Amino acid sequence: MQGFNLSKQYIGRYAYHSQVTGQDEFIKVEIGLREPLFDPIESRLARTMLIDPFRNLPALVSVAVNVMSLRETYAEKFCAALTRKEPAIRDFYDIAYAIRTRRLNLNDTRLVTLIREKLTVSDTTPVDISEAKLSVLRRQLEPQLQPVLRGPDYENFDLEHAFGIVVQLAKISLHAIPQKSPCQPNLLECSRLGTRFQVPILYALTLLARVSQVETLCPHRVSFALLRLHL
């Protein structure tokens, strides 16, 4: 185990003998102490994908482990997508997949709050929604993403829409990210990932009443969204 970043991060590798490959394999463990958790820790079962061929049951007993809440996990993923120094296509795929499979609710105001709190932690890398970053992500599609996905999952992924969703949620979270970005699809029109996304309208309206620089929240976009929802 080695320490980094003024003892705020530790990385170690643990070896074990694999009964599957017959060789020594490694598990990489990263421990981060840079910021506290904002949601309570949850206890969930870790289940194996290995099936006993004779009983057609899991080969290993499920084990209870302490984990971050799913909401906070995805807040971390949004922050990684926005601030990672070396852009990673996996961040945007994970977010798009979570939305498509309804594991992530964009109308969750607590999610927005978590993203804002995490982005304002000291030492956090500045938010980057530049065209240069999107270009890097486009170049990662075939060499990095396609080899690790099944055909339908790769075909259903739309990077442009995923990037736009991350940008829009970042704007609502911080209130002050510049308006100009490579792509800004209205979230209500993003149906190509298998579901229709909705901006947290009521939360955005609440922010409009609180923030002096209301233009950063695109009031005309909020009005258009309300018309679309027939409110």
Distances (CA, A) of 112 to 2, 159, 169: 34, 21, 7
Amino acid identity of residue 196, one-letter, is R
More confident residue, 188 or 15: 15
Sign of CA dihedral 205, 209, 211, 217: positive
Scored b (16 or more CB within 10 A) or e, 33-49 reads eeeeeeeeeeeeeeeee
* Residue-level pLDDT at 192: 36
- The Cα 4–Cα 30 span in angstroms is 11
What is the pLDDT of the chain when averaged over all its residues? 78
Query: What percent of the chain is modeled with pLDDT above 90?
Result: 49
Locus of tokens 């309208």: 201
- The Cα 37–Cα 193 span in angstroms is 30
Model confidence at 57, pLDDT cuts 50, 70, 90, reads very high
Which residues on neighbouring strands pair with residue 16, listed in sequence order?
25
* Residue-level pLDDT at 21: 84
Distances (CA, A) of 174 to 99, 171, 203: 21, 5, 13
Token reading at 75: 């807040």
Model confidence at 65, pLDDT cuts 50, 70, 90, reads very high
Model confidence at 175, pLDDT cuts 50, 70, 90, reads low
- The percent of the chain in helix, strand and coil, each rounded to the nearest 5, is 45, 15, 40
* Burial (CB count <10 Å: 0-12, 13-18, 19+), residue 191: exposed
* Residue-level pLDDT at 66: 93
Extract the runs of DSSP E, i.e. beta strands, from 33-147.
Answer: 42-46, 51-52, 57-58, 63-67
User: 23-32, 91-100, 204-213 — which one is most confidently predicted on average?
Assistant: 91-100
Check pLDDT > 80 for residue 94. yes
Check pLDDT > 60 for residue 46. yes
Give backbone dihedrals phi and psi of 8, rounded to 5 degrees, phi first: -100, -5
11 touches 30 (CB < 8 A): yes
* Residue-level pLDDT at 224: 34
Would you give the distance in Å from CA 141 to the centre of its chain?
17
* Residue-level pLDDT at 194: 36
